[in-house]
Structure 1
Amino acid sequence: MSSIRHIFMGALVVVLTAAAIPATVFAKEAPASFADLAEKLLPAVVNVYTKQTINIDRDRGFPGFPPGSPFEEFFKRFEDRNNGDEDGRRPRTRQRMSLGSGFIISSEGIIVTNNHVIEDADEVSVRMHDGTEYDAEIVGKDTKVDLAVLRVKAKKPLPYVTFGDDTKSRVGDWVVAIGNPYGLGGTVTAGIISARNRDINSGPYDDYLQTDASINRGNSGGPMFNMDGEVIGINTAIYSPSGGNIGIGFAVPSSQAKRVIDQILEYGHVRRGWLGVTIQAVTEEIAESLGLDEARGALVSTVNNGSPADDAGIESGDIILEFDGKDVEEMRELPRLVADTEIGKTVKVKVLRKGKIKTLKVTIAELKEDDEVAVPSKLDKKKDQGPEKSLLGMTLENLDRETREALNLDEDFQGVVITHVERYSPSSERGLRRGDVIVEITQVEVSTVEEARKRIEELRAMGRKSILLKVYRRGSYSHVAVSFDEEEEQ
């Protein structure tokens, strides 16, 4: 969702209309006061301040004068004489300051906050509830879950809080948030857990708690407590028209945060399990094209060479239904399951392949940060040679030497290339475009246009409403379900 932003940013306005639900006699009364709880917890919550030095590019010209103006050159020489540096120039800088929140989890001065609070900071400082300030060092951070661990050196043991188990909390339970909104200092707000397992498209492991407790800019990194005074979430993001609270905030659940924090403290970074596949969601159309009764699991688009998945025999086009004894109902569940698996552990993975269930054993490796590879297409340099066959709004051609060179394909790469997609056709609606290479049609490989045509007609005769294409585009694979055009059906 593009409207989701970190607490330091604004978002788009969303208008919701809710039906009124009458209260029942089973509803719990609100606490008479949060004062005792707040008094106990406030000393362990800190304000986080950062400074970052920004270099200003002085080659952008002088205000009021276009680049190359003689006046620009005059003022540049004048300023150079006054600066007297080696090159006659002195770089200009400015300081950017930001604020956030954090909380102490150890009497030795270990502090948790959000990564985006301290990201790119040159200096990090924390201010205690009693006004004492400390310089902080960054122990480690994790961009994928947006967490960071800091350490301060104090002459005495510091007050701290402990993590609770967020999985025991239910939607509707009371929570208390404490933080540093707008730099005001320790501020207490209360609300309820509005929802669980929220995916806000901020990363591959989204699993947020949603709350209506007031959270604003500066609350980032602050704790969310249950009524026992345990941290069950770390306030991270809001959904808002202006960056201010509208009652929709998100927190990293403690069960997820604690694993990340423990690994940062032990290794200095997060060690996550790696399977070595690219996956996509199983839509209703994809499920229908494969003859599934319901849309579930994670569809494997690409298997990395030499990866644990490759070694175990997982193939592109497999649908992963179960991982280490846990059902994979939705695609987004699999990355979290894999990431939380112990490095070196061998697990069973249940996949659906061409209508049959297979159980494979995979030994999980450690995830490494790899650069993305983008191969530029040279297809536009290829001269149009006329269509060979049009199917479902696509004009297809066999791969020849010139096409392989344009798309950087090896000689043994098999498939058919799309050279044109008709506007408003079923293929166009699914995002297919010129230069895509179709390598499979509903889990059967195709290497010529004639093979593609026969496979499509075969599926049409079987009564399928759609086909599943495995498509290669610029170094990666994806699966696309394309419905038969009703006008083509005779």
Structure 2
Amino acid sequence: MKKILSLVLVSALGGTLTLGAYKLFLEKENKVVVAPTETKPNFLPTKSVNSLLNTNETPNFTVAAENTVHAVVHVKNMTLSSGQMTFEDLFFGRRSQRAQLGTGSGVIINADGYIITNNHVIDNAHELSVTLNNNTTYKAELIGTDPKTDIALLKIDADEDLPYATFGDSDQAKIGEWVLAVGNPFNLTSTVTAGIISAKSRDLTGKSSQSFIQTDAAVNPGNSGGALVNTNGELIGINTAISSQTGSYIGYSFAVPSNIARKVIEDIMEYGNVQNGVLGIKGGTFNNTAAEEIGINYTEGVYVGEVIKNSGAEKAGIKKGDVIKKLDNIEVSKFEDLSGYIKTKRPNDVVTVELLRNNTLKTLPVTLSKTEMFSINFMKMELKDLSDSFKETYNIDYGVMVKETQNQWLYSNLGISEGYIITGINDIKIESIEDISKLKEKYGDDIQENIKRLAYINKRKEKKEVIFR
């Protein structure tokens, strides 16, 4: 057995020595080179990773923020409200009043101390005060307001020229552009947040009556009336609203475009009220279904469903079925684009309208009309003419519609509210608001005391007539 093991070990040792000698003296050298592979990360759409580290290309907000914070002020609004009635109040026949303090923001727009803010910030104010970024406080005077755009104008008297924000062109602002929101959320003065423009011409009512800039810069209660500025520090919006179920910021905020806000305050300063121009069309924005029903193959633009009589649009030659594509070379893709741009204009301004008619582009100059041409205030009601399409749909020959009303007497006694149609007063046939104008000239403000007979159509389209004794 020992001889067998010795033989195996000697054989193994001899084989090992023979193989080592061959490798060392006889086999040629073969070098193995591993080629490096280039790794291309599919999550970095850049030419070089080094570009991510280039700080020169990152947005710098310091200059814009520094210039803006000194122009943004803290607005305090003291209102008086009726407190809970006590036994003494009841005994002495008095009503207790208590002060409530609301706060918001504002933006100084010139060195003389004019300040733009939101109407809802100063609503029902008993006393207004403004605190600057240097903690100096002034009493503020309310110059004017426009509830429809939620813009108000204040004035303070300072002993020196004040820092102010310069207006930018909100029509030129781009989706994706960096912006800063500057204001006083939760009474935290001089707060700056950053974001981008998420959308333009945004409407929150569902009636295409608003045209906000939407941004994801954080805006909270107290920011209302503050500045939305671009990276140059130019004012492109007045922060107005947030989209929230909690009352605080959860992702999106909205600002009145600076072009609209600037026009409103210029009107207030020059005329004492806002001068609204009207194009004179009724229409809407396309979707695929509506486009197919009309028989067209495009969805961008404002479809003209009706042209108002005697309006600038009718006089310029705009027709039902036209599709408005541009206003003064500003693209119009939806109705909010159109309404927002028209809000920057006044009556008698001329707007160049580019439209599509039968697949042919046409350009027409349109002189904007006054809103008074289409509605009239009468007995605490705003009345407007009936459109031809409305008359045809409901088989109504004449009358004027109640657009808005604050006449509690007519509402309480006859139920007359928005949507009712006045067809006759004192045996006078009411065919249009021109007939209402004649009645106003005849009776003045005492018309309600002189009404003996009133004919109207209710919301169910039932004809009614009432005789007052």
Following superposition, the deviation at residue 207 of structure 1 comes to 3.9
Gaps in structure 2 of 5+ consecutive residues: 1-41, 386-390, 400-457, 462-469
Q: Is 1:120 the counterpart of 2:120 in the alignment? A: no
SS of the residue 2:266 aligns to: helix
Kindly indicate whether residue 204 of structure 2 is the aligned counterpart of residue 201 of structure 1: yes
Flag the 1:22–1:50 CA change in 2: closer, same or farther, 3 A: farther
- 2:225 matches 1:221: yes
What do residues 173-199 of structure 1 show as CA deviations (whole Å, max 9, x unaligned)?
44333211112222233x231423151
The structure 2 residue matched to 1:409, chosen from 393, 396, 406, is: 396
In 1, Cα distance between equivalents of 2:74 and 2:460: 45
CA distance in 2, matches of 1:300, 1:333: 14
Aligned with 2:186: secondary structure?
helix
The question of 1:100 aligning with 2:104 is answered yes
- Whether contact under 8 Å (2:179, 2:195) holds in the other structure is yes
- Tell me how far 1:201 sits from its aligned partner: 2.0
Tell me which residue corresponds to 2:432.
none
Match of 1:49 among 67, 76, 79: 76
Q: Counterpart in 1 of 2:187?
A: 183
- Structure-2 separation of matches of 1:332 and 1:57: 44
Q: Structure 2: how far apart are the matches of 1:169 and 1:348?
A: 21
2:279 is the alignment partner of 1:275: yes
Q: Which amino acid aligns with 1:48?
A: V
Q: For 2:160, which of 156, 161, 172 is the aligned residue? A: 156
Give the TM-score taking structure 2 as reference length. 0.61
Report the Cα offset of residue 168 of structure 1.
5.6
Structure 1 residue 109: deviation in Å?
A: 0.7
Label 1:109 to 1:306 Cα distance change in 2 as closer, same or farther (>3 A): same
Q: Deviations over 1:373-417 (max 9, x none)?
A: 599xxxxxxxxxxxxxxxxxxxxxxxxxxxx9xx682289xxxxx
Q: How does 1:289-438 map to 2 (within 5 A)?
A: 289-312=293-316, 314-316=318-320, 318-323=322-327, 328-341=332-345, 343-347=347-351, 349=353, 362-368=366-372, 373=383, 409-410=396-397
One-letter identity of the residue aligned with 1:249: S
Asked if 2 retains the 8 angstrom alpha-carbon contact of 1:276 and 1:304, the reply is yes
C-alpha separation between the residues in 1 aligned to 2:43 and 2:125? 47
Shift of 1:292: 0.8
SS in 1 for 2:342: helix
Give unpaired runs (5+ residues) of structure 1. Answer: 1-19, 63-74, 84-88, 376-403, 413-472, 477-490
3-state SS of 1:332 partner: helix
1:53–1:94 Cα contact (<8 Å) kept = yes
- Given the two structures, how large is their TM-score scaled by the length of structure 1? 0.59
Distance 1:269 1:474 in 2: 33
Is 1:147 aligned to 2:151, yes or no? yes
**CA distance in structure 1 between the partners assigned to 2:58 and 2:328 by the alignment:** 42
SS in 1 for 2:70: helix
Task: Encode CA deviations 1:135-161: one digit per residue, 9 max, x unaligned.
Answer: 111222233332221101122222223
2:257 to 253, 259, 264: 253
What CA distance in whole angstroms lies between the structure 2 residues aligned with 1:273 and 1:50? Answer: 32
Residue 264 (1) aligns with residue 268 (2): yes
Over 3 Å counting, the alpha-carbon distance change for 1:475 and 1:116 in structure 2 is farther
Q: Which moved more, 1:172-181 or 1:214-223?
A: 172-181
Per-residue CA deviations over 1:227-256 (Å, capped at 9, x if unaligned) read: 333323322222223122234222233344
Deviations 1:37-65 (A, max 9, x none): 5454433221001122234697xxx9xxx
CA distance in 2, matches of 1:236, 1:301: 32
Residue 126 of structure 1 and its aligned partner are, at CA, apart by 0.8
Number of positions where the alignment pairs a residue of Structure 1 with one of Structure 2: 344
Query: What amino acid maps onto 1:131 in structure 2?
Result: N
Aligned counterpart, 2:234: 230
1:192 to 191, 195, 199: 195
Q: Secondary structure at the match of 2:232?
A: coil
- The within-5 A match list for 1:13-32 is 22=44, 24=46, 29=55
Contact conserved, 2:278 with 2:370, CA < 8 A, in 1?
yes
Amino acid at match of 1:106: N
Separation in 2, partners of 1:301, 1:108: 46
Change (3 A) 1:357 1:150: same
| Structure 2 SS opposite 1:299 | strand
Query: Is contact 1:296-1:331 (8 Å) kept?
Result: no
Indicate how the Cα distance of structure 1 residues 323 and 108 shifts in structure 2: closer, same or farther if over 3 A, else same: closer
Q: Per-residue displacement from partner, 1:274-297 (whole Å, max 9, x unpaired)?
A: 122322223322221222121233
Judge which range, 251-260 or 198-207, deviates more.
Answer: 198-207
SS at match of 2:231: coil
Give 1:363's aligned amino acid: T
Change (3 A) 1:166 1:365: closer
Aligned-pair CA distance for 1:346: 4.6
CA contact (8 A) 1:342 1:364 kept: yes
Kept in 2, the 8 Å contact 1:217–1:244? The answer is yes
Q: Show CA shifts across 1:423-464 (max 9, x none).
A: xxxxxxxxxxxxxxxxxxxxxxxxxxxxxxxxxxxxxxxxxx
Which of 130, 134, 143 aligns to 2:138? It is: 134
Q: Contact (CA 8 Å) 1:144, 1:205: kept in 2 or not?
A: no
Q: After TM superposition, list the pairs within 5 Å mapping 1:431-446 onto structure 2.
A: none
CA contact (8 A) 1:279 1:298 kept: yes
Alignment-mate amino acid for residue 286 of structure 2: V
Higher deviation after alignment, 43-52 or 163-172: 163-172
What is the rounded CA distance, in whole Å, between the counterparts of 1:169 and 1:316 in structure 2? 32
The 1:282–1:99 alpha-carbon spacing in structure 2 relative to 1, beyond 3 Å, is same
Contact persistence 1:282–1:331 (CA under 8 A): no
In 1: Cα distance, 2:89 partner to 2:327 partner: 66
- Alignment CA distance shift 1:106-1:272 (3 Å): same
Q: Percent identity?
A: 37
Cα distance change of structure 1 residues 340 and 34 upon mapping to structure 2, 3 Å threshold: closer
SS at match of 1:260: helix
Contact 1:144 1:204 in 2 (8 A): no
Gap change, CA 1:53 and 1:174, over 3 Å in 2:
same
Equivalent pair of 2:185/2:191 in contact (CA under 8 Å): yes
Distance 1:223 1:411, change over 3 A: closer
